[in-house]
Structure 1
């Protein structure tokens, strides 16, 4: 049966509208996996030596255990934004004699063979081999390694629950924030009563010193597997998959938007979509966290001598909604995109409405970032320059990226159980690179030549120049959307 499922998955991928683009991206991802995998193997091979040199007073295995918590926290956050969630078109399978438990086991099994679960192996297998060569107890090392593998799968199944349950996500996010905050306060000597790395290190050191404790992470991983299985099993019903939940919707007076003329219809539609649906609300809520991104860099004195990082942070402060909402244009309209494209409406107005919405969000974020003046007018000027770049350049790059993104978005939360709406989209990553690297380059080159003010002015002027060529950019982007319109309709129609 597993072979049948794999065959169906391959046929679905091969026959999809984005097959050629998918092949190119998967090849690129394979090269990326080989690169990071090779780097991880080298890190694992030399980790013992690195720890011995930097912490000569401590046993390397003890040092590694003290800092394992930060690896697992990074792993969990990285998984949430990047890992592909279990996805399969299960509706046709519900009416044929295949046990639903078999299908669910296959879905969860797909996540277990993910690259995100193999990456820790590339680090800890070489590290464990070095430990054995150095004369450490084989039983302790092998069972400690199995405990690390089990914890990796704990994170895997926790991430699946976090992607499908807002409650789990907020709990996990709160725990990460508390642990990171306590460690930051200790490092900066605000108080010395609690150091996360040492307390958590005691737990991981116990896994090494008392090998029988390996049963705890193994049992925990099995329990989380059961929770995921139970979650999917209770929602594996045909009527639950195709039924629409009817609920009363409150109307809001948006007549004040009529001043925008032909754009008003699209703007009202987007505002109602964000107001009435959980997924857009989540994106709006999460984009607010970007406002605090600058704090990470501005409070650290060492970054004052690295203005490139400060420019990078300044872009993110006002780009929350732009990045999170804008990268999913036109996917937000995927559920009714076919109907929308059958109307006698100008595509240019549709794109302009999305652009104005992103620009408005950047402007509001800039106003909300005013407290950053506390860190100095130079920091605030960098944020202002970053806002200019986001409005004049990044907004158009984001719109262009939407033309290459044909992954549908399910606006209702129930669709998350068997359709991937939050998984990693490689196209978004490729489009994100120029949005993040280009402003740093525009800032840094003038900075090296003429100083900080030159870098800030260059970054701000780049946004002004982008606005001057607004009509040109929108025309070119419209042509790209028009050219791929029917492929987009076909891709959205597959789900």
Structure 2
């Protein structure tokens, strides 16, 4: 039966309209996995010698175990933000004679094949080989290595619970944050007893039973959690919830585009995926701290121009690049209405402009770094409004991958609504402000670079109608292909 499931998933992937894009995405992900996997292998190979050099008076295996908790905390953080949980269309399987347990075991088994599990393997396997070569006890080393892999799988199923259940998230997240805070403020060093625990796993091989038991318990909890809602009635029936209507009548002042703006605001407020994007776009405000606090980058103003564009462009880059995928669930209905396509696109542009403006206001604390830095942020905001917004809308015309609005997605790694063409469109977004600033800066002075960057945005605003007309033509040309593609579900 597992073989049959694999066959069905392969057919779903190869027969979809986004097959070629999916292949390109998979290739990019494989290249990324090879790169980071290679780094993990290298770090695992040198970690023994690095700890021996850093703490010559302590056995390296003890030092490694003392810091092991930080790896698992990092892994949990990485999983939460980047690991995409496997998806399987189970509705057709519910009405045919297949055991629920088999389907659930397959679904949970898919999570074990996550790259983040192999990342730990790539890290700990070279370290294990070094320990064996150095003459450490074979049984102790192999049991310790196996226990670490089991704990890695534990983080996998723990992340599954955190992502699938708000209750588990509200229990585990504050606990982890609290322990990290206690460690940081030197109130209670949780790493010390946990370091003793990892050393005990190495010194006493029989303690491998503890991570094995923990893994079994987490697996069964996940199994029970999925099985509890694995009923056709729960899947098909609509749950009645009390809805609090939001008064958006003040948006009527925007005229013909007001209905579209209201629709977008409601979409963001009522659905999981847009809310995540909104939160992530807020984090872009802090992007400048990476560059403005480093003296190295002050000597490379082109990189400061790049950072300044990101400070105010978080929402534009994250939400805007997925236009029109946000409307994929009702795009066919939307396109069947007697509405001007131009108004639809114009509403998206105004939404991005408002977001950039709000981000610019929120960026005023950057005045702490001086007027030059803040002037660069202002120039970057104008570039976002006048040029970046149109480049983003143009990229959306080539995006025909649907988005499930209430599927909890990973802000960084989820490819739902993504296609490789966006990477090419992203190049002028990233390199554009750097080039527009750097050439006048190099030929004249710093102020000339700022004026050139800001002027490019002003010119974009002046020729707004021209750009929107051209983009509208592209959207109209691919309208029916987009409608057909949105009718399918991404894998």
Q: Do 2:391 and 2:429's aligned partners in 1 also have CA atoms closer than 8 Å?
A: no
The answer to whether the Cα contact below 8 Å between 2:68 and 2:195 also exists between their aligned partners in 1 is yes
Change (3 A) 1:71 1:471: farther
Q: Taking structure 1 as the reference length, what is the TM-score of the superposition?
A: 0.84
Q: CA deviation at 1:357?
A: 0.8
Deviation at 1:74, TM superposition (A): 3.3
- Give the whole-Å Cα distance in 2 for the aligned partners of 1:58 and 1:153: 29
Q: Which structure 2 residues correspond to residues 17-28 of structure 1 after superposition, within 5 A?
A: 17-28=17-28
1:37-436 equivalences in 2 (<5 Å): 37-169=37-169, 173-174=173-174, 177=177, 193=187, 200-295=194-289, 313-412=307-406, 424-425=414-415, 428=418, 430=420, 431=422, 434=427
For residues 72 and 380 of structure 2, the distance between their equivalents in structure 1, rounded to whole angstroms, comes to: 32
In structure 2, the residue corresponding to 1:148 is in which secondary structure? Answer: helix
Please give the per-residue CA displacement for 1:99-141, whole angstroms capped at 9, x wherever unaligned.
Answer: 1111111111111112221122122111210121122222232
- What's the CA shift for 1:162? 2.7
Which moved further from structure 2: 136-145 or 319-328?
Answer: 319-328
Which deviates more from structure 2 when the two are superposed, residues 459-468 or residues 319-328? 459-468
Cα 1:470–1:200 change in 2 (3 A) is: farther
Secondary structure class of the residue paired with 1:345:
coil
Query: Deviation of residue 55 (structure 1)?
Result: 4.7
Higher mean C-alpha deviation, range 232-241 or range 463-472: 463-472
CA 1:423 to 1:461, structure 2 compared with 1: closer, same or farther past 3 Å? same
Secondary structure class of the residue paired with 1:327 = helix
Partners of 1:107 and 1:130 in 2: CA distance: 35
Of residues 362-371 and 73-82 in structure 1, the stretch that sits farther from structure 2 once superposed is 73-82
Q: Which moved more, 1:223-232 or 1:30-39?
A: 30-39
**CA 1:144 to 1:429, structure 2 compared with 1: closer, same or farther past 3 Å?**
farther
Partner of 1:3: 3
CA shift in 2, pair 1:327/1:485, >3 Å: same
The CA deviation at 1:97 is 0.5
Separation (CA, whole Å) in 2 of partners of 1:450 and 1:174: 53
* 1:72-118 deviation digits (Å, cap 9, x = unpaired): 33333333343232211111111101111111111111111122211
Instruction: Return closer, same or farther for 1:209/1:392 CA change in 2, 3 Å cut-off.
Output: farther
CA RMSD of aligned residues (A): 3.6
Change (3 A) 1:340 1:43: same
Stretch of structure 1 that moved more, 292-301 or 80-89:
292-301
Please say if residues 302 and 438 of structure 2, whose CA atoms lie closer than 8 Å, have aligned partners that are also in contact.
no
Q: Is the 8 A contact 1:86 1:420 kept in 2?
A: no
C-alpha contact 1:312 1:436 (8 A) present in aligned 2: no
1:351–1:478 Cα contact (<8 Å) kept: yes
Deviates more, 1:389-398 or 1:221-230: 389-398
Q: For this pair of structures, how many residues does the alignment match?
A: 485
Tell me the distance in 1 between the aligned counterparts of 2:445 and 2:240: 59
CA pair 237-56 structure 1, distance change in 2 beyond 3 A: same
Moved more, 127-136 or 51-60: 51-60
**Which ranges in structure 1 are unaligned for 5 or more consecutive residues?**
none
* CA spacing shift, 1:98–1:252, aligned 2, 3 Å: same
SS at match of 2:322: coil
Give the CA deviation at 1:322. Answer: 2.6
Give the Cα–Cα distance (whole angstroms) in 2 for the partners of residues 471 and 449 of structure 1.
32
1:442 and 1:458 in contact (8 A); partners too? no
Q: Which residue of 2 aligns with 1:438?
A: 431
**Alpha-carbon contact 1:327-1:402 (below 8 Å) kept:** yes
Contact 2:261 2:351 survives alignment (8 Å) = yes
CA contact (8 A) 2:393 2:471 kept: yes
* Structure 2: runs of 5 or more not aligned: none
Given the superposition, is the C-alpha separation of residues 5 and 47 from structure 1 closer, same or farther in structure 2, using an over 3 Å criterion?
same
* 1:464-484 C-alpha deviation (Å, 9 max, x unpaired): 454455445434443443343
Shift of 1:262: 2.0
Structure 2-normalised TM-score? 0.84
State whether residues 302 and 435 of structure 2, in contact with CA within 8 Å, keep that contact through their aligned partners in structure 1. Answer: no
Answer whether contact 1:66 1:204 (CA < 8 A) is retained: yes
For residues 175 and 468 of structure 1, the distance between their equivalents in structure 2, rounded to whole angstroms, comes to: 52
